[in-house]
Structure 1
Amino acid sequence: MSDLPADRPAAGVSGPSPEMLEALRERLKERIYAAITMLAVVVGLAQNPHTRHATAALYVTCTAVGLWLATLVADAQAHRVVHQRLPDRREVQHFLFVSSPLLGSAAGPLVMVGLSAAGVLGLETALWVAVGVDVASLAAWGYTGGRRMGGGLLVSALAGLVDAAIGLGVVTVKLVAGH
Structure 2
Amino acid sequence: MTDTTTGDRGGPAPPARLGERTRSLKEQIYASFTGLAILAAVSGTGHATAADALLSVGIGVLGISAAGLLAEVVSHQVVHQRLPATEELRTMGRIALGALGSALAPVVVLALAWGGMLPLDRALWTGMALYAAVLVAVVLLAVRRTGLRPLQRLLATATILGLALLVVALLQLGHLD
TM-score (norm 2): 0.86
Distance 1:4 1:127, change over 3 A: farther
Mapped to 2, the partners of 1:18 and 1:145 lie a distance apart of 15
CA contact (8 A) 2:30 2:64 kept: no
Distance 1:84 1:144, change over 3 A: closer
**Pick aligned residue for 1:75 from 41, 61, 72:** 72
Q: Does 1:164 align with 2:146?
A: no
Mapped to 2, the partners of 1:24 and 1:91 lie a distance apart of 14
| 1:50 aligned counterpart, secondary structure | coil
Structure 1 unaligned residues grouped into runs of 5+ = none
Mapped to 2, the partners of 1:127 and 1:135 lie a distance apart of 12
Deviation at 1:158, TM superposition (A): 2.0
The equivalent of 1:5 in structure 2 is 4
Mapped to 2, the partners of 1:49 and 1:39 lie a distance apart of 16
Q: Does 1:27 align with 2:3?
A: no
Q: Which has the higher contact order (CA 8 A, sep 6+)?
A: 2
Counterparts of residues 84-163 of structure 1 (less than 5 Å): 84-163=81-160
Structure 1 residue runs of 4 or more that deviate by more than 4 Å after TM superposition: none
Deviation at 1:3, TM superposition (A): 10
Mapped to 1, the partners of 2:142 and 2:22 lie a distance apart of 11
Structure 2 unaligned residues grouped into runs of 5+ = none
CA contact (8 A) 1:34 1:101 kept: no
CA contact (8 A) 2:5 2:13 kept: no
Deviation at 1:92, TM superposition (A): 0.7
Deviation at 1:7, TM superposition (A): 5.6
Could you tell me which amino acid in structure 2 is paired with residue 177 of structure 1? G
Deviation at 1:152, TM superposition (A): 4.2
TM-score (norm 1): 0.85
Deviation at 1:41, TM superposition (A): 0.5
